[in-house]
Amino acid sequence: MARKYKNPLVTVINPKSPAAESYRGLRTNIQFSVHDKQVRVIMVGSAQMNEGKTTTVSNLAVAYAHEGKNVLLIEADLRKPSLHHVFGVSNDTGLTNVLAQQVDVEDVIRPTAVTNLSVITSGSIPYNPSEMLGSHNMQMLVHDLKQRYDMILFDTPPILAVSDALIVSALCDGVVLVVLGGKVKKSQVRKAKTQLEHVKAHLLGVVLNNITIRENEAEQLYYGSKWLK
């Protein structure tokens, strides 16, 4: 039986909701978090699985697209990809096939139902994902795509599970760390942060998921992003 995915794109299905506003607030926080350079390539990661990074990066991509920016969302989780389910696009070919020089990148850039937003899915599951993400072909691909898109966002595997996310972080202007409140140990979050710092990744901030907001605080939901200055 095929796995069923609940639509996580609240910015699409309920754009006036407090949750959708929180993603727009996240977009604004990123824009004002760095004063000396533009942040155009962003990785969204988490210490462990199931902390909400795919939901966060997908809604953030939509928020940028709604702002009028030309946005590309790339699936860099080459082990357990999910973006093709979120956006309902094919994953017959994707990032891995481009890196293996089997297809051209134009063949795997897939438009979505959201204006200004395209997706590159993972493609065929490789036996050497870390090596592919750390290859010269990957560096050149990101360089070329930056000439074509205003914003590029990466979804990645958990930071503590494999080295893939740390490799991708080196290609990015900044990293947003998603933390599932009340579920993930503080020591795990600290370890993920330390590993990002070790590779000199620029940590833009931390998004705290699974927090309880009282009804009279709903209009302030966007402050649920624990932003690091």
Block means of pLDDT (10 residues each) for the chain, length 229 residues?
58 91 93 81 95 95 97 97 95 97 97 97 95 97 97 97 96 95 89 95 90 47 39
Residues 210, 211, 217, 223: is their CA dihedral positive or negative? Answer: negative
Residues 41, 46, 49, 51: is their CA dihedral positive or negative? Answer: negative
Flag whether 162 is in a domain: yes
Q: What is the largest CA-CA distance in the chain?
A: 54
Flag whether 21 is in a domain: no
Flag whether 14 is in a domain: no
Number of domains comprising the chain: 1
Flag whether 26 is in a domain: no
Flag whether 116 is in a domain: yes
**What is the pLDDT at residue 210?**
72
Flag whether 8 is in a domain: no
> Measuring CA to CA, how many Å separate 199 from each of 58, 133, 193?
25, 15, 10
d(CA 166, CA 153): 15
Which CATH number is 206's domain given? Answer: 3.40.50.300
d(CA 90, CA 190): 36
CA neighbours closer than 13 Å in the CB half-sphere of residue 69: 21
Which among 32, 84, 27, 33 has a CA at the least distance from the CA of 54? 84
Flag whether 122 is in a domain: yes
**What is the pLDDT at residue 64?**
97
Expressed as residue numbers, the domain containing 194 is 34-227
Tell me which residue has tokens 């699985």: 49
Q: Is the pTM of this model over 0.85?
A: yes
**Burial 183-197, CB ≥16 within 10 A → b, else e:** ebeeebbeebbebbe
Flag whether 17 is in a domain: no
**What is the pLDDT at residue 212?**
59
> Measuring CA to CA, how many Å separate 10 from each of 24, 63, 157, 229?
11, 10, 22, 27
d(CA 61, CA 43): 11
